[in-house]
Amino acid sequence: MRIDNLQYCNWSQTVFEQMHQGGLTGVHVTVAYHETFRETVANLEQWNRWFERFPELIFPGRTAADLKTAEATGRTAIFFGAQNPSPMEDDIGLVEILHQLGLRFMQLTYNNQSLLATGCYEEDDTGLTRMGRQVVTEMNRVGLVVDMSHSADRSTIEVADHSSRPIAITHANPGWWHAARRNKSDAVLDAVLGPKGDHGGMLGFSLYPHHLKGGTDCSRADFCEMIARTADKYGAHCLGIGSDLCQDQPDSIVEWMRVGRWTKEIDYGEGSASAPGFPPQPDWFRDNRDFPGLAEGLAAAGFDAGEVAGLMGGNWARFYETSFGPVDG
């Protein structure tokens, strides 16, 4: 089983065929950055058209059982997520509606302060807000996973403490390996995963070049060694892949991701000294066809077959089983 728990590609038949060629059982795809509720619904409508056009390649995922269907039929189950709480606007009632529409992950912030918590680019991290506490409780109730990938440290730690269900960082790397604003401190990883990996949370390792030591030139061996060192502390059972693959996207899309509608200026974003743009992927992970190579790299880094299977997708599958439904099952 192979699961990539975060992608935002320029979706096309080519990308869906490459998912099949790479043996992807499930992919968590982003359907919103700064979109309102109605704009998010429009994005979901577009996904319905893709499901109609390419039923032999992809289908909508709602529960962990859909991963078994994907394996049995040789297709990829697509799970929806939002990288910002903007689709729920300022209405807590929309949390349940979004879950009913198929969302299974929602970040409490992108890079900025939201109504719920603080993003990692803000100077002052004021933590989980009053509304944020209520929204996390509601997300817990319906089975919408709390994702803190772009959130600041205090906010993430407070969410991990407040949430009655395990939370996730779907796409980031440890800060000790590469110092980037989006990578996570030991304190954050301890809060989400547990000091011994016993909190039930998950970390998905990112292959976005700005999150990699050496950027585009990062080697597969170095990336997999970083995973091995993380597993030494937390165990391999709470780790997976969230590649943050943005394949075939034009540079105008990264401007939307960074700027949205909140500023009239260009926000250059992480790792960029000029106009925002997508950096080239490492040559060993350019698209979904390269996913099997990760398994080879993990084995070379010392993981046994069972651990490799977990890291490649089994751990996310287990997390899906306990996270996507309401508290009462």
Task: HSE, CB side, 13 Å, CA atoms: give it for residue 176.
Answer: 11
Q: pLDDT digit string (tens) for 60-118?
A: 999 999 999 999 999 999 999 999 999 999 999 999 999 999 999 999 999 999 999 99
- According to the model, what pLDDT value does residue 274 have? 56
User: Dihedral angle at the C-alpha atoms of 318, 310, 240, 195, nearest 10 degrees?
Assistant: 80
Nearest-10 crossing angle of helices 153-162, 186-193 = 20
Q: Is residue 329 part of a domain?
A: no
The whole-number pLDDT of residue 45 equals 98
Question: Position 219: which residue type?
Answer: S
Query: How does pLDDT run across 158-217, given as a tens digit for each residue?
Result: 999 999 999 999 999 999 999 999 999 999 999 999 999 999 999 999 999 999 999 999
- Give the integer Cα–Cα distance in Å for 249 and 35: 18
**Average pLDDT of the residues of the chain:** 96
Number of folded domains that form the chain:
1
Element of type H or E holding 48: helix 37-53
CATH number, residue 229: 3.20.20.140
Q: How far apart are CA 316 and CA 318, in angstroms?
A: 5
| Domain encompassing residue 20 | 3-323
Q: Are 204 and 245 in contact (CB under 8 A)?
A: no
The residue among 230, 254, 257, 252 whose CA lies nearest residue 315 is: 230
> What DSSP element (H or E) covers 28?
strand 26-32
Give, for 162, the enclosing helix (H) or strand (E). Answer: helix 153-162
Q: What is the DSSP letter of 281?
A: P
Q: Provide the angle, in degrees to the nearest 10, between the axes of the packed helices 130-142 and 153-162.
A: 50
Which of the four pLDDT bands, split at 50, 70 and 90, describes residue 327? confident
In a domain, 14, yes or no: yes
Position 265 confidence tier, pLDDT thresholds 50, 70, 90:
confident
Residue 273 has pLDDT above 60, yes or no: no
Residue 294 CA to residue 296 CA, distance in Å, equals 5
Instruction: Identify the DSSP state of 75.
Output: -
Does residue 328 lie in a domain region?
A: no
310 within some domain = yes
- The answer to the question of residue 83 being in a domain is yes
Assigned token pair, 131: 């509304």
31 backbone dihedrals φ, ψ, rounded to 5°: -115, 0
126 found inside a domain: yes
pLDDT for 277: 80
